[in-house]
């Protein structure tokens, strides 16, 4: 009886081992839910600008002159965030110049992507950089959540398509 029980146990163990899949690569795990700050109003944008200014200022020498790049085709968010950032940098004690000569440049880059959940949200990636002519001095990047209905606020204005051609002839 003991031999039969031992043989049956060994057979079951062997069969179980054969049925267990062997994975040589690490298994992908679903990412845990991450809490993201929401960008639902201009006051949220202002709070973000103050936070970014504080973090950048901590990495710069006191009284470092700055120039904030502002583009004509910027999104509504980029325009508002840039002006709020200027205010926050001034409040942090940095002279902010109207022209880039003699100043470090501050640039804002915004990327929009669909959210990972099924709620119809967007993820807004905001990177703010301080640079000189050849290198990055400081950089802050954050990922935020916004409603898909507000997508137009984060997209740059479309470029007007133009075509030039030469007219030949005349009197």
Which domains are seen in the chain, by residue range?
A: 34-154 (3.30.160)
Question: Looking at residue 2, what is its pLDDT?
Answer: 57
CA distance 44 to 89: 17
Spell 60-95 as b/e; 16+ CB within 10 A means b: beeebebbbeeeeebbbbbbbbbebbbebbeebebe
Tokens 């005349």, located at residue: 170
Two structure tokens written together for 103: 């100043």
* Inter-residue contact 54 to 86 (CB < 8 Å): no
Worst-scoring range by mean pLDDT, 54-68, 117-131, 147-161?
147-161
The answer, yes or no, to whether residue 168 has pLDDT greater than 60, is yes
Range ranked top by mean pLDDT from 37-51, 65-79, 150-164? 65-79
Residues near 15 by beta carbon (within 8 Å), at least 6 away in sequence: none
pLDDT (average), residues 1-25: 51
Report the alpha-carbon distance of residue 36 to residue 68 in Å, rounded: 26
Q: What pLDDT was estimated at residue 156?
A: 81
Q: Report d(CA 108, CA 130) in Å as an integer.
A: 9
> Quick one: which of 98, 84, 90, 87 has its CA closest to 64?
90
């Amino acid at each position: 009886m003991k031999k039969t029980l031992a043989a049956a146990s060994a057979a079951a163990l062997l069969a179980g081992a054969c049925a267990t899949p062997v994975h040589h690569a690490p298994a992908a795990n679903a990412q845990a839910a991450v809490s993201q700050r929401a960008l639902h109003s201009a006051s949220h944008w202002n709070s973000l600008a103050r936070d970014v200014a504080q973090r950048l200022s901590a990495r710069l020498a006191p009284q470092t002159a700055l120039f904030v790049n502002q583009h004509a085709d910027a999104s509504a968010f980029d325009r508002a965030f840039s002006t709020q950032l200027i205010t926050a940098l001034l409040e942090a004690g940095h002279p902010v110049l109207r022209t880039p000569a003699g100043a470090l440049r501050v640039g804002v880059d915004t990327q929009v992507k669909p959210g990972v959940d099924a709620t119809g949200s967007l993820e807004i990636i905001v990177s703010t950089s301080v640079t000189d002519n050849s290198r990055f001095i400081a950089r802050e990047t954050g990922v935020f959540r916004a409603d898909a209905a507000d997508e137009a606020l984060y997209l740059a204005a479309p470029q007007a398509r133009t075509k030039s051609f030469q007219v030949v002839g005349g009197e």
